[in-house]
Copies of this chain bind each other. A is one copy, B any other.
Amino acid sequence: MAEKRLKLCGWGFEGDGLSKEDTDILLERVRTRHGIEAAEPRYAPTLEAIELPKPKTDIPAALQAFSENAVYDRATHTYGKSYPDYLNIFDGNFTNAPDFVAYPRNEDEIEAALDWATGARVAVIPFGGGSSVVGGVEPAVGTGFAGAISLDLTKLDQVVEIDRTSRAARIQGGIRVPAMEAALKPHGLTMRHFPQSMDMATLGGMIATRSGGHYATLYTHIDDFVESLRTVTPNGVMESRRLPGSGAGPSPDRLMIGSEGALGIITEAWMRLQDRPTHRASSTVLFDDYTKAADAVRAVSQAGLFPANLRLLDAAEAYNNGFGDGRQSVLVLNFESADHPLDAWLARAREICGDYGGTYDTDTAQDPDAHRSGAAGAWRKAFIEMPHYREILVSIGVVADTIETAITWDAFPVFHEKVMAAAHAAIEEATGRPGTVSCRFTHVYPDGPAPYYSLQGAGRHGALDEQWRHIKAKASDAVIEHGGTITHHHAVGRDHMPWYVRQRPDTFGAALAGAKARLDPAGILNPGVIVPV
């Protein structure tokens, strides 16, 4: 099988993307929404057209067998998939390109890379799916280093061992989700952790960024699926014991989960898996009143029913994603099980929704293909295609971002009002025109929802970076000021650091810096991320 090549600009691999027809529909819809006149979109440069800075460091002999410094390798490892990343690519700005890309095939090669980098004081930026939307993989390490390289982990792509009895598997960190699921399928197993980045995302990347997945309740983050971890640090290998649970000191795994490459390289994990679901029961519930809809979601999440999907889309979000009438909120409710029919579960959840004024169709219940039809199906299609939208928005000068967070239920009403207001105001300040802000709950907890805000405004080519920065900063300020987290599942990266250091206790920052000093004494691992330089 020929290896897939990463796109220089945009989501996925060369050849991936929306059809011409879908692109035209989307362009028309976005232009109409923002009153933008049709004009030829801007195009991203080709690989041949861009110029990279001269590398600060050559590939040393010890790493030559698995490193590359061709334009393709350096350029495709300069950025992730954020809005400003795309802007920079459109502008041909590759100032922070890595000096070279190492593609280690085993732990020995990772150790060789870390040893050399520690000695040479070269920054090492771990690169998995490359799907960071928060500046997590850009080698923007400042002037304190003799160079910076990208450490691409995607050659570590095997499911190594399967324990069917305990429903767990030992899996390498660089495997992408589709390959992992394909390897698990013959055993009747699945991780069922499907972030929106699933086409590209790697297991190690998802663990390092505490990704949020398929399950809207209970198993929301990948954290709970981690049974044990194996990590290579500049100071040696850290491997935790496979255990279903333990009370022996602070969890070693929880220190590495969310460390975003700043403490070590996740090379392997034993992951807890699921049986493939055979029973499904779904409803789409409509609410006239958004506040009551949120109350219904709270009540369902506190009832101990644990639906797989409990995603509330506000009226604008629903409409933008191709369903609903633009006035009603839409709740996508779905149960799934590999063990038992779900009649009792769905009936009680519907009853609760009814208590809060929700109305629902009864047709789709118990349909094993319910997740592929109706509103759930429409949502599924939109969810899968969404990552491709961003590059299109950039091309026609629409400024856009997403702000995702979590907040307790008591604080949610005021929080939501303030964040919505701040986002609207920021778009208008930046662009001079009102924009759109919509909200969905991606995940829900008994003590609060994880709201995800989508922001768009009619920007101006040439000013988009400044406009984006203004909107991002104002919306993030509101999130932090009113009690939320700067990220529920997109991670911190470089973009969120100013708000992360406001969110996390300084004393914890000191503890993390103390831990990093022991694991990575030269401070070469993803500098500036999680632990300030």
Binding site for B on A (CB under 8 A): 163, 165-168, 209-212, 220-221, 227, 231, 233, 235-252, 254-260, 263, 272, 275, 298, 302-306, 337-340, 343-345, 348, 406-410, 443, 445-450, 483-492, 496, 500, 503-508, 510-519, 530
Closest 3 CB pairs of A and B: A244-B448, A514-B518, A244-B445
The contact of A504 among B248, B263, B508, by CB within 8 Å, is B248
Chain B residue at smallest Cβ distance from A299: B339
Q: How far does the alpha carbon of A211 sit from the alpha carbon of B490 in the complex, in Å? A: 31
Instruction: Check B514 against A247 for contact (C-beta < 8 Å).
Output: no
* A244: chain B residues within 8 A (beta carbon): 406-408, 445-450
Instruction: Check A243 against B510 for contact (C-beta < 8 Å).
Output: no
Instruction: Check B249 against A530 for contact (C-beta < 8 Å).
Output: yes
Instruction: Check A507 against B519 for contact (C-beta < 8 Å).
Output: yes
Q: How far does the alpha carbon of A339 sit from the alpha carbon of B340 in the complex, in Å? A: 20
Instruction: Check A304 against B337 for contact (C-beta < 8 Å).
Output: yes
Which one of A246, A250, A505, A514 has the highest number of Cβ atoms from chain B below 10 Å of its Cβ? A250
The contact of A408 among B168, B210, B221, B275, by CB within 8 Å, is B168
A525 to chain B, nearest CB (A): 13
* A231: chain B residues within 8 A (beta carbon): 507
* A486: chain B residues within 8 A (beta carbon): 248
Q: How far does the alpha carbon of A287 sit from the alpha carbon of B507 in the complex, in Å? A: 52
Instruction: Check A252 against B504 for contact (C-beta < 8 Å).
Output: yes
Chain B residue at smallest Cβ distance from A250: B258
Instruction: Check A508 against B227 for contact (C-beta < 8 Å).
Output: no
Instruction: Check B500 against A249 for contact (C-beta < 8 Å).
Output: yes
Q: How far does the alpha carbon of A209 sit from the alpha carbon of B508 in the complex, in Å? A: 19
* A252: chain B residues within 8 A (beta carbon): 504-505, 508
Which one of A256, A258, A514 has the highest number of Cβ atoms from chain B below 10 Å of its Cβ? A514
Chain B residue at smallest Cβ distance from A251: B254
Instruction: Check A248 against B487 for contact (C-beta < 8 Å).
Output: yes
A276 to chain B, nearest CB (A): 13
- With contacts A242-B483, A248-B503, A515-B514 known, is A168 near B340, CB below 8 A? no
A189 to chain B, nearest CB (A): 11
Instruction: Check A492 against B255 for contact (C-beta < 8 Å).
Output: no
A315 to chain B, nearest CB (A): 24
Instruction: Check B166 against A408 for contact (C-beta < 8 Å).
Output: yes
- With contacts A337-B304, A339-B348, A515-B515 known, is A490 near B250, CB below 8 A? no
Q: How far does the alpha carbon of A418 sit from the alpha carbon of B489 in the complex, in Å? A: 42
- With contacts A507-B235, A512-B515, A518-B514 known, is A485 near B241, CB below 8 A? yes
Q: How far does the alpha carbon of A272 sit from the alpha carbon of B410 in the complex, in Å? A: 13
* A492: chain B residues within 8 A (beta carbon): 248-249
Instruction: Check B255 against A166 for contact (C-beta < 8 Å).
Output: no
Q: How far does the alpha carbon of A492 sit from the alpha carbon of B251 in the complex, in Å? A: 13
Q: How far does the alpha carbon of A340 sit from the alpha carbon of B65 in the complex, in Å? A: 62
Q: How far does the alpha carbon of A511 sit from the alpha carbon of B209 in the complex, in Å? A: 19
- With contacts A503-B241, A505-B239 known, is A447 near B250, CB below 8 A? no
Chain B residue at smallest Cβ distance from A236: B507
Instruction: Check A258 against B251 for contact (C-beta < 8 Å).
Output: yes
* A233: chain B residues within 8 A (beta carbon): 507
Instruction: Check B258 against A249 for contact (C-beta < 8 Å).
Output: yes
* A516: chain B residues within 8 A (beta carbon): 514
Question: What are 10 sample pairs from A and B whose C-beta atoms fall under 8 A apart?
Answer: A167-B446, A238-B505, A238-B508, A240-B508, A250-B256, A250-B257, A304-B337, A340-B344, A340-B348, A343-B344
